[in-house]
Structure 1
Amino acid sequence: MADPLLVEVGALLREVAADVVVPMFRRLDAADIAEKAPGEVVTVADRRAEELISARLRRLRPGSVVVGEEAVADRPDLLRHLRGTGDVWLVDPIDGTANFAAGRRPFALMVALLTDGIPVASWVYDPLAGTMAACRVGAGTWLDGTPVRSTGPVPEVGALRGAAMTQFLPPATGQRVAAGGGRIGELLPGQHCAGREYLDILTGAQQFVLFWRTLPWDHAPGTLLVREAGGVARRFDGTDYHPADDDPGLLVASSAEVWDEVRAALLGG
């Protein structure tokens, strides 16, 4: 992976994980954890990691804008930059904060770069597994420094393995997914860490993942990684995902053929 940008941002995520995030894992006090919204927690590690990552990204691309998950909690107007011009960084300092705060794995650090509203590069790093994925539009996806493709022979639907985040699904959709799960080889409940779900598609541990909530910092990095590896990330109606769109529902798969099989099985068409 010789691309200087991919190397530099990857090194930044490794550094922040080693200096800030991992040292606080399973060492948080009650005072280190707060509820920023009902059911949504944030830790001192999230905030410190975002500060460090954001400052370095601004220096890397002078004039760029950083849209960080924790910054948006205080300034929702930052989201307007996702359809703006110039370079915009999306930052999720700790994806899977609920896991992290509870002393569970997995969790990940994630960044995506948008230029003139178009995702052009992304990074997902699982520090406990030591797994780094990075991509640049047109240059493919790299997993731990090796080019990776998510495509391959398409398994029969009964041999597919993937996850469905059912917690937030509307009741009718949740019932369809539950009923269709019997047609899938293995339907997993999810790991409460979108970054790890995307990595598992790249490693071949699973072939798909279904989400309802589509917050941009959760999905801009992973969807680009999967697309550059040959997979697809589409709304339930088949339209391509874009991080500035806040419509719910997202199905990501290792290939278009797998996407079609899973959509038919879990969503009925």
Structure 2
Amino acid sequence: MTGTHLIEDVAAILREVADEAILPRFRTLAQGDIEEKAPGDLVTVADRESERLLTARLPGLRAGSRVVGEEACAAEPALLKTVGDGTVWVVDPVDGTANFAAGREPFAVMVALLQAGETVAAWILEPISGRLCVAEKGAGTAIDGRRLVADRAVPAPDALRGSVLTRYMPPDVGGAIDRRLCGLGAVTPAFYCAGAEYPSILTGDRHFALFWRSLPWDHAPGALIVAEAGGRVTRWDGSPYRPAVDGQGLLVARNPGVWDAAHAALLAPQP
């Protein structure tokens, strides 16, 4: 268990970092403030400064802890293999960087606290609105201080709405998924920000999201937030999602019944 004080202390740090490093740069970035660290993968001065500040401040909240951040892993990929060792803060300093760099929403700051590879607490802050989603393993999910429990309704397959992010899928995998989308009610536009995708499954008009790439800073925070509200987050085959274990493909659903329906529509073997 993490405790109320830790939940509040991390939230305060996220708000401070957003105010210091992110919000002043929104829609004020110069050309030299944006770089492409990999084809189609942007990083800005806000990402780097946010991660620097989080790396300096978070370990002081938990003795013996350390930070594994997205930008540190971009510079030193071997760090990714250490997220299962000890007590680790997994940090996405600006989730939705492409949106942020283009001067549009949504974007978020996300943190997950892992102990021996298991997520025990999570935070997602949307700097513009100030909305804060938090979860603690075994203690539930809250948005802006109000406990959230997922809707238990299970729509018919042709009424299911969700995001299907095929961008990183191999062509044969993405093609097979695309051919099955006609069985759904609607495929909603992706936010290109996991920090918006996960909460929207609980609060918005989408019931599920299907991902291929599952880097821990993108998914560990949201996965706990959905799961602690009563949703289901697994690998495509139904096996548990663990941020410290390599794997591809995630199916995120508002509740177990929606997971079953989405899995049957998109992923189950066909006769």
Same fold (TM over 0.5): yes
**Alignment partner of 1:57 is 2:64:** no
In the alignment, the residues of structure 2 paired with residue 107 and residue 68 of structure 1 have an alpha-carbon distance, to the nearest angstrom, of 16
Q: Is the 8 A contact 1:100 1:107 kept in 2?
A: yes
Within 5 Å, which residues of 2 pair with 1:8-23? 8-23=9-24
**Alignment partner of 1:221 is 2:214:** no
Task: Please tell me the residue identity of whatever aligns with 1:91.
Answer: V
Within 5 Å, which residues of 2 pair with 1:66-145? 66-85=67-86, 87-145=87-145
Q: After superposing the two structures, state which structure 1 stretch, 151-160 or 55-64, moved more.
A: 151-160
In the alignment, the residues of structure 1 paired with residue 158 and residue 81 of structure 2 have an alpha-carbon distance, to the nearest angstrom, of 42
* SS across alignment from 1:18: helix
In the alignment, the residues of structure 2 paired with residue 176 and residue 131 of structure 1 have an alpha-carbon distance, to the nearest angstrom, of 36
Q: Which runs of 5+ in 2 are unaligned?
A: none
Task: Please tell me the residue identity of whatever aligns with 2:150.
Answer: S
Q: Is the 8 A contact 2:188 2:206 kept in 1?
A: no
In the alignment, the residues of structure 1 paired with residue 159 and residue 130 of structure 2 have an alpha-carbon distance, to the nearest angstrom, of 28
Equivalence for 2:253 = 253
How big is the shift at 1:62? 2.7
Deviations 1:1-23 (A, max 9, x none): x8111111112111211222111
**Alignment partner of 1:43 is 2:44:** yes
Within 5 Å, which residues of 2 pair with 1:233-252? 233-252=233-252
Q: Is the 8 A contact 2:68 2:79 kept in 1?
A: yes
With the length of structure 2 as denominator, give the TM-score of the two structures: 0.94
How big is the shift at 1:204? 3.4
In the alignment, the residues of structure 2 paired with residue 170 and residue 188 of structure 1 have an alpha-carbon distance, to the nearest angstrom, of 21
* SS across alignment from 1:6: helix
How big is the shift at 1:176? 2.6
* SS across alignment from 2:258: helix
Between Structure 1 and Structure 2, how many residues are aligned?
A: 267
Task: Please tell me the residue identity of whatever aligns with 1:30.
Answer: Q
* SS across alignment from 1:48: helix
Indicate how the Cα distance of structure 1 residues 113 and 60 shifts in structure 2: closer, same or farther if over 3 A, else same.
same
Task: Please tell me the residue identity of whatever aligns with 2:232.
Answer: V
In the alignment, the residues of structure 1 paired with residue 252 and residue 5 of structure 2 have an alpha-carbon distance, to the nearest angstrom, of 28
How big is the shift at 1:161? 1.4
How big is the shift at 1:129? 2.8
How big is the shift at 1:100? 0.7
Q: After superposing the two structures, state which structure 1 stretch, 105-114 or 29-38, moved more.
A: 29-38
Q: Is the 8 A contact 2:151 2:202 kept in 1?
A: no
How big is the shift at 1:59? 1.1
* Percent identity for Structure 1 against Structure 2: 52
How big is the shift at 1:170? 2.0
In the alignment, the residues of structure 2 paired with residue 82 and residue 138 of structure 1 have an alpha-carbon distance, to the nearest angstrom, of 21
Q: Is the 8 A contact 2:161 2:187 kept in 1?
A: yes
In the alignment, the residues of structure 1 paired with residue 8 and residue 121 of structure 2 have an alpha-carbon distance, to the nearest angstrom, of 12
Task: Please tell me the residue identity of whatever aligns with 1:234.
Answer: T
Indicate how the Cα distance of structure 1 residues 174 and 189 shifts in structure 2: closer, same or farther if over 3 A, else same.
farther
Equivalence for 1:193 = 193
In the alignment, the residues of structure 2 paired with residue 184 and residue 126 of structure 1 have an alpha-carbon distance, to the nearest angstrom, of 29
Name segments (4+ residues, structure 1) moved above 4 Å.
none
Within 5 Å, which residues of 2 pair with 1:144-223? 144-223=144-223
Deviations 1:115-140 (A, max 9, x none): 12211000011122322100111110
Q: After superposing the two structures, state which structure 1 stretch, 92-101 or 180-189, moved more.
A: 180-189
How big is the shift at 1:80? 2.8
Task: Please tell me the residue identity of whatever aligns with 1:224.
Answer: L
Q: After superposing the two structures, state which structure 1 stretch, 70-79 or 108-117, moved more.
A: 70-79
Q: Which runs of 5+ in 1 are unaligned?
A: none
Deviations 1:21-45 (A, max 9, x none): 1110111011101111222111000
* SS across alignment from 1:83: coil
Task: Please tell me the residue identity of whatever aligns with 1:4.
Answer: H
Q: Is the 8 A contact 1:108 1:126 kept in 2?
A: yes
